[in-house]
Structure 1
Amino acid sequence: MSEIRPLARRGMLGWAVGDFGFNIFWQTLNLLLLPFYTDVLGLNAALAGTVFLIASLWDGFADTVIGAIADRTRTRWGSYRPYLIFASPLLVVAFMLAFLTPDWEQGGLFLYALLSQIFLRTAYSLVSIPYSSLSARISQDSGERSSMAGWRMFFAFSGGAFVTFVMPQLVQSLGEETQSTTYVLAAGLTGLISLPFFWIVFANTSEPERLRDANPSGFTVAASVEDFRATVRMAFANGPLVRIFGCIIVSSLAFTMTNKCLVYYVTYYLERPDLVPRIVPFALVINLLFAPFWAGVARKIDKRTTWLVANVVSVVAYLLFFFSTSRDPVVASLLIALISAANIAYQVLFWAMLPDTVEYNAWKTGQRHDGKVFGIASFAKQLALGINGALLGFLLVTIGYTPNVEQTADTLWGLKAIMALIPLAGVLLSGWLIWGYPLTRETHRAIVEGSYDAQ
């Protein structure tokens, strides 16, 4: 029987602030790297989308391996915290390399973009999977995890808003005429800003001694086989995790399709490229403001019900956006704000629900497998982003998108359809999947306390 102890505010915020640092990399990868490939590097949009697909599939594989490695790591600082200190400098180096602009033909550009993005994603996972796994260690209270997820998303989108504003400004101030080094320098400067946030997490969290041996240790061939078998067992035994797996695939597809098109929408539909450094961060600021709101709703009612409420708001927001004919930046910003306010709920709820499946897994299989759970879930996100990148690149070609020229009316209509109708389908499918999610707050507490009776 395990007693649930409240987490001190210092530990909660000390952990959550780390996502400010992570989103310096993630939001740049998610929002700015595709336009960088097509409009700066000169890579064909379909090839750029293929880069995202292949790199995301690799990322999903790497996440599961890194999760297993982190579970088996044993140091005097714990299993997960050391990665925040010792692996994070490698992430900054990988970030810089992703923005090199070699003067090569399409084949060479494709290969460089692919390899540099694989390196970036692997380095990112080496730090982020252990970081995420900490959330299941430092708190075992389901409601408290909703607050943690809300604060995490608050800092995440603070970091995202920061980098989407600062990166273009740095590029402009460093001089666009020297693009071969401008983007690398801008990436290096913003990357260095992330490091203190990882150090703060390390300093303000601790891994409970009683959970030190909750997972197997040792690195052998037999251990690798056992980790593979454990992952397969989770796929069959952990029903809540499988549902979240499906939900995050379809909701990430929806959420990211809108975000990745936002730069194109502002540049070509609104015909205001000068507003990109303002509207894109504005959408992230809305995410930032509503993350604590959805966390509070989840604490007061139920995570599953909160997801369904967010579905309703998303459907209304996407329909209003699609059928609006206004090109007024103010009207566009309000519609984008409504979409962003609803969509942030899925990010908050994903990170609030996922740690609960760790204890469910321990109840079903006898071991927690924290890192594996987060690795599998991260694989789901990467799969969604890979599909998203490839699909978006294909769709941009299909609607006749041509970089750096005025777009036709049909292309602009197609752009809005990509931003609204595909995400709308994903939102509806996620609602259908989450309808049968069984892990309530009361059920989770009973599992943690050892009093749960499945009958």
Structure 2
Amino acid sequence: MTTAAPPSAAVDELTRRRLFVYGLGSVGTGLFATVPGLLLLYFMTDALGVPAGVAGLVVALPKAWDAFFNPMVGAASDREAVRTGRRTRLLVAGGLALPAAFAAMFLSPMTGTGAAVWVSVTFVLAASAFALFQVPYVALPTEMSADPSVRTRITVWRIVFLTLGILAAGGAAPLVVDAAGGGRTGYGVMGLTAGLVIAAVMLVPALGTRWVRSRPGPEPLGLVAAFRTARGNRAFFALLASFVLQAAAVAIMLAAAPYVATYRLGSYGLTSVLFVCLVAPSAVAVPLWAKAAGRWGRLRCLKVATCGYALGATALLPAAGADGETVAVAATLALCGLLGVCYAALQVLPLALLPDTVHADAARTGQVQSGAFTGLWTAGETAGLAAGPGAYAIALAATGFASSTLDHPVAQTATARTGILLGFSLVPALLMLLSLPALRAYGRRRAPQETDPNR
């Protein structure tokens, strides 16, 4: 069988400028992935008066659409690449459509049921626009180089920028809301501001990566044929399963942060501080994890980081629930800093391993379909990110959390306060532990030519 392999860019072609242009797009993906997960649920329950159970469905169901839509985008991206040798059109379409849809999510003119409908529709539009950019964007590193060490370098640049986007989203977005007066007005200003930033940082890589030659194939596959070809790639699906569980764990913790800050630590303003403590260390830790992976193996380091995150999340239960707000705040922030170090590995290492599964599949089938695999990957990621806030909202409703508006705040029961804390600690820890069997399965199902299972 003749293997169709994606072209590899020479190492000297991957200049710092090109890595910068590519990585910059991750600032936008970080903003979109973070702000809804961090603030949208709280925005609906505490600014728009949407009941927690309904708000949870609004957050989960539109993003669940991605599980169907993203693979279609992946197949379409591969077809475009076969025809033109590039993935530019979808990248530009997503970069133009997402900012407007994102801003509209936080510009609801209604409260209650009407607001739930408004946010649902705009969130579906935003998620669809995001897929148009994200799916071909994630496919590009596979086509930039066939060398795993070079692809890890590309991924490090991307994750550093992603971390900056996440940090800006989590640190600045709540501050913009407060500075603009809070409530619906504050969230509206924040949505418009973030939308402008997303447009700027996404269009640069959309137009600046035209040098990457994308040659999937040898023939373009439709969605059904792409699934049929991909289903034998067991290593990919094992890696994807672990990544989805970990994404859901992180998403639950992000969704819980405003509630923990408000109802356990005494101030909504601590939301930004919590987020910065969780994400800022990862900006420094990403290159360190890359060096550690080069020495001890990417898979081994990923397992260590997963266990470390689970232990740190478990320790948040007594820390955030400690007597005295000063002690609780100090202990919670310190643990979030430690979690941030592990979070860096959870971001960079799965994405460094993903192209390996695409290249191994090309050797197995003779058909290269980077877009199809990244479509499945991003569908799983968004499903995990949707499931996190959705599950947390259901837990809030089950423990008696009472929704409110800024003008009419509501005191929460002891049961609701306990539910808020459990979703911030034990639930993410459990999901991290549940991802470990999938990582072990991935190690067993690697391509036979890869002799080191922890590589």
* TM band (smaller chain): 0.7 to 0.9
Q: CA deviation at 1:36?
A: 1.0
Partner residue, 2:406: none
Kept in 2, the 8 Å contact 1:147–1:296? The answer is no
Q: 2:230 aligns with which of 225, 230, 234?
A: 234
Instruction: String of CA shifts for 1:254-312, please: whole Å, max 9, x gaps.
Output: 12111210111111100122322333233221232222222222222212111111123
Say whether residues 1:41 and 2:41 are aligned partners. Answer: no
* Percent of pairs with identical residues: 24
Q: How many residues align?
A: 434
Contact 2:50 2:111 in 1 (8 A): no
CA RMSD after TM alignment: 2.6
Q: In structure 2, how many angstroms separate the alpha carbons of the residues matched to 1:86 and 1:428?
A: 38
Is structure 2 residue 217 aligned with structure 1 residue 214?
A: yes
CA, structure 1 residues 383+363, in 2 after alignment: closer, same or farther (shift >3 Å)? same
**Alpha-carbon distance, 1:41 to partner:** 1.7
Q: For residues 92 and 202 of structure 1, do their structure 2 counterparts lie closer, same or farther at Cα, with a shift above 3 Å needed?
A: closer
Deviates more, 1:378-387 or 1:77-86: 77-86
Matches within 5 A, 1:126-145: 126-145=132-151
Query: Which secondary structure state, in structure 2, belongs to the residue aligned with residue 341 of structure 1?
Result: helix
The 3-state SS of whatever aligns with 1:17 is helix
CA separation in 2, counterparts of 1:277 and 1:39? 17
Give the secondary structure class of the aligned counterpart of 2:50: coil
1:196-345 alignment runs, 5 A limit: 196-202=200-206, 204-209=208-213, 211-212=214-215, 214=217, 216-217=219-220, 224=222, 227-235=223-231, 237-324=232-319, 325-326=321-322, 327=325, 328=327, 329-345=329-345
Q: Partner of 1:125 in structure 2?
A: 131
1:31 corresponding residue in structure 2 = 38
Q: CA deviation at 1:381?
A: 1.4
Q: Is 128-137 or 151-160 further displaced after alignment? A: 151-160
Give the Å deviation of 1:317.
0.9
Aligned-pair CA distance for 1:105 = 4.3
Map Cα deviations across residues 107-156 of structure 1 (whole Å, 9 max, x no partner). x3332221111111001111111111111111222122223222222211
Structure 1 residue 68 displacement after superposition: 0.7
1:97 aligns with 2:104: yes
Deviation at 1:80, TM superposition (A): 1.6
Bigger Cα displacement from structure 2, 5-14 vs 95-104 = 5-14
Q: What is the CA distance between 1:213 and its match in structure 2?
A: 5.1
The answer (yes or no) to whether the contact 1:52–1:390 under 8 Å persists in 2 is yes
Distance 2:217 2:229 in 1: 17
2:427 aligns with one of 397, 409, 422: 422
In the alignment, residue 215 of structure 2 is paired with which amino acid?
Answer: R
Structure 1: which 5+ residue stretches go unaligned? 218-222, 447-455
Tell me if structure 2 keeps the 8 A contact 1:146–1:296. Answer: no
Letter in 2 for 1:317: G
1:284–1:213 CA distance, 2 compared to 1 (3 A): closer
Q: Which amino acid aligns with 1:124?
A: F
Letter in 2 for 1:196: A
- The amino acid across from 1:189 in the alignment is T
How big is each residue's C-alpha offset from its partner over 1:77-121, in whole Å with a ceiling of 9 and x where there is no partner?
743233333431211110111112232542x33322211111110
Please state whether the residue corresponding to 1:273 is helix, strand or coil: coil
Determine the C-alpha separation between the residues in 1 that align with 2:247 and 2:343.
9
Residue 422 to residue 121, structure 1, CA distance change in 2 (3 Å)? same
1:176-214 deviation digits (Å, cap 9, x = unpaired) = 47x3x55334322221122332233245434554x5353
Q: TM-score, normalised by structure 1?
A: 0.87
Shift in alpha-carbon separation, 1:140–1:296, aligned structure 2, 3 A? same
Is the Cα–Cα contact under 8 Å of residues 96 and 203 in structure 2 kept in the other structure?
no
Q: Which amino acid aligns with 2:194?
A: T
Deviation at 1:167, TM superposition (A): 2.6
In 1, Cα distance between equivalents of 2:178 and 2:393 = 26
Match of 2:59 in 1: 52
